Amino acid sequence: MPAVLTIATTPYYDQKPGTSGLRKRVPVFRQHNYLENFVQAIFDSIDAPAGATLALGGDGRYYNREAIQIILKMAAANGFGRVLVGAGGILSTPAASCVIRKYATFGGIILSASHNPGGPDGDFGIKYNTANGGPAPEKITESIFECSRQISQYRIIDAPDVALDSIAEHTIGKMAVSVIDPVADYADLMESLFDFSAIRALLAGGFRIKFDAMHAVNGPYAREIFINRLGAPEDSLMNCTPLPDFGNGHPDPNLTYARELVDILYGEHAPDFGAASDGDGDRNMILGRHFFVTPSDSLAILTANAKLVPGYRAGLAGVARSMPTSAAADRVAKELGIPCYETPTGWKFFGNLMDADKVTLCGEESFGTGSSHIREKDGLWAVLFWLNIIAARKQSVEAVTREHWAHFGRNVYSRHDYEAIPTEAANSVMKHLKDSFGSLPGQKLGSYTVDVCDDFSYTDPVDNSVSTGQGIRVIFTDGSRIVFRLSGTGTEGATLRVYLEAYDPDIANHHLDAQVALSELIVIAGQLSELKARTGREQPTVIT
């Protein structure tokens, strides 16, 4: 029997999980005992019973395989009875949530830095998901951080590495290791929710799609679903071989980083439908021929058309959106007579609402949408939902969207990201905005008049937990608004996000490009924040 080793260690004091776990550069994780400390802090915090089952996998980025071997040996030393690990160390974040729920595991560890770049000098991440399949709530992540600050030892078994590339059963000490098909359970779940026959007929009838996996985890999932189960031609897929460095790309499915796909959909002989997903498979971008659907509009359109999809024909309990996401979904919810919840950014806030059967669909403006089928956002789910709607309505992406705007009005929306700003400069912008709260209400700024401004806080209607400091809102009397928020998903400096939204019920204006329609609000945002003077940035890094 391999020996269980207790290794002395000293704390690192920078292991505070963000909205989606701990993310750092690969060289940081490769420091002596850095990963081991954090994994032991997870195990010390969750109090798993002896013999519990754990799910484990990641997005295939650099350091994924090495980290999995360490975690397997530590799980065995910490009394787990079984680990379900994806073959090749692969499990997309949605698939991991699916596996946790389907096999009723105690929880799961997901290795991913989501949409952040990979490679030897790129980013790596690790997070713990609870038995509902969703990200650990703040009380658990706070406990993990506290344990990481006090750690003095970790436990690991001295055993050979496990062969990960074939589906098989192994043991480490007394713990079973089941190397499972990372795709099958998830693909089966998708087939149970959507009308694959209708989508298959749509594709067989000449409807052309292009899916870009961005050399990230969803490549194998896309091949199984689109090629093997839906009969799409081989050229429907691009960049579907997962690579540890994502092909030197930035696996973030937006108009900037998925430029190759965007150029195809806006080029000559464009396919009818385009979509992309990110590093760990939970985000999505939806495109029509020469047409882009904002994530806010996408959530609203899925909500409005849910009864066209077999898995949602019984109706929706409600819908939820993150605070920076546009109010487009609110208008649909009002017409449907269902509740709409506004939460902080972070999928864990949706998990409570779904577990309490208060919502069925949810979404964030940061290219994430999902439903109560799992407890994570889900990129391929959103793509299949759109294809199901198109197959049922027999309309193009653009026609579906414009018809939606004609009925509900258009929430013109854009997000401007200023990435890798020095943290001190970003904090200066936020402090300046907060210091302006007392004088802003009632001010006329161009054609807009400020109604209220605040720093968004949220009281969870399920457990009454309170989250504060979730983003600065400047709301105008006509319902238009500007939101400023520091993102917690980067690993270098700070990312300042500026969200701009204006409601326009007039169909005569619905053809306008969002940047044109929002041009006055963009100028006002710059003036209010003094962003250029305080950060030196002339232009956003990314506009979506």
- Give the tokens for residue 289: 């021929």
Q: Edge-to-edge strand order for the sheet containing 175-180? A: 22-25, 123-129, 107-111, 53-58, 82-90, 175-180, 168-172
CA–CA separation, 292 and 266 (whole Å): 9
CB count, 10 Å around CB of 343? Answer: 25
Dihedral sign computed on CA atoms, order 163, 168, 172, 176: positive
CA–CA separation, 1 and 365 (whole Å): 51
Alpha helices (runs of H) in 395-460, residue ranges in sequence order? 397-408, 423-435
Residues tagged active-site: 114
Indicate left, alpha or beta for 88 from its phi (over 0: left) and psi (-120 to 50: alpha).
left
Place of tokens 């269980």: 4
CA–CA separation, 213 and 281 (whole Å): 8
- Give the tokens for residue 14: 């920078």
- Give the tokens for residue 165: 């590339």
- Give the tokens for residue 1: 């029997």
> Cβ distance 20 to 114 under 8 Å?
yes
539 Cβ contact partners less than 8 Å away, ≥ 6 residues apart: none
CA–CA separation, 147 and 349 (whole Å): 23
CA–CA separation, 155 and 37 (whole Å): 10
Residue 134: helix, strand or coil by DSSP? coil
CA–CA separation, 491 and 372 (whole Å): 30
> Cβ distance 76 to 155 under 8 Å?
no
For residue 382, CA distances in Å to 20, 169, 386 come to 20, 33, 6
> Cβ distance 216 to 59 under 8 Å?
yes
- Strand 448-455 and strand 472-476: the pairing is antiparallel
